[in-house]
Amino acid sequence: MPTIFPYRFPRRVYCAGPLFNAAERSEMTQIAAVLARDGFETFVPHTDGMEFSRVRAVLIDRGFDATLVGAWLHRAIFALDTYQVVIGCGSLVFNMNGRVPDEGAVAEATMAYMLDKPVVIFKEDARSMIAGRDNPLVVGPADFGTTSDMEHLSAVLAERVGQFPPQPDRAVFCPAHLCTAVEAGERLWQTLEPLESGSDLDAVADAVLMLFGPATAKPVANRAALAS
């Protein structure tokens, strides 16, 4: 029976939230900086993960079809983020600011909740769905509470982490489909982690191609030859 060990890094925090513009990315970076200042280690997808557009450009430059490349990278991002939520991080902070909660962050918070990991929601946005209350299915993983003071996030998270007894050797059954994603995400992370800010894009592209590109995939053309 395949098993995983999701609880080995309780003070490593997955920072989930919207990353679609400079203001959102800046806020996510601020959240991570506050947590790191107070002794937590963080994973922030847009700084610690994979830059979709840059790796996409490398693979397309190699002559691979853009549609196929997009499909491979979607699988790669899903696997990497799933690995980080399930194994790499022992807790999660969800930035719920915005007109609607970020869909990806909702999924990530739900994964963490289903594994009985501490979840904390940051929200200083006054908008809500139901007369001042947020959607219970979104805030439920954080015990139906949110924190509006970014400077207080670490204290709230530390309190939540403290409610969970240390259990680094606790094994959990891993369904085959989840194991497949986690294993692929771990192998991709092993390529990414040693690099500084994705400095070796060719190595990342090679890993994406090996893990998520069909073995039969061939470049459709040599762009350099086409340009000459």
Alpha carbon distance 9, 89 (integer Å): 6
Q: What pLDDT was estimated at residue 179?
A: 95
Bridge partner list, 13: 42, 91
Prediction pTM value: 0.89
**Can you give the pLDDT of all 228 residues of the chain as single tens digits?**
689 999 999 899 999 999 888 989 999 999 999 999 999 999 998 888 878 888 999 999 999 999 999 999 999 999 999 999 999 999 999 999 988 899 999 999 999 999 999 999 999 988 877 777 888 999 999 999 999 999 999 999 999 999 988 888 999 999 999 999 999 999 999 998 887 655 688 999 999 999 999 765 666 544 443 333
Query: How many Cβ atoms sit within 10 Å of the Cβ of residue 173?
Result: 10
The pair of structure tokens assigned to 96 is: 């719920």
DSSP string computed for 190-221? HHHTTSSTT--HHHHHHHHHHHHS-TT---S-
Q: What pLDDT was estimated at residue 218?
A: 62
Q: What pLDDT was estimated at residue 223?
A: 42
Q: What pLDDT was estimated at residue 52?
A: 83
Alpha carbon distance 2, 171 (integer Å): 9
Q: What pLDDT was estimated at residue 219?
A: 64
Structural domains of the chain, ranges and CATH numbers in brackets: 3-227 (3.40.50.450)
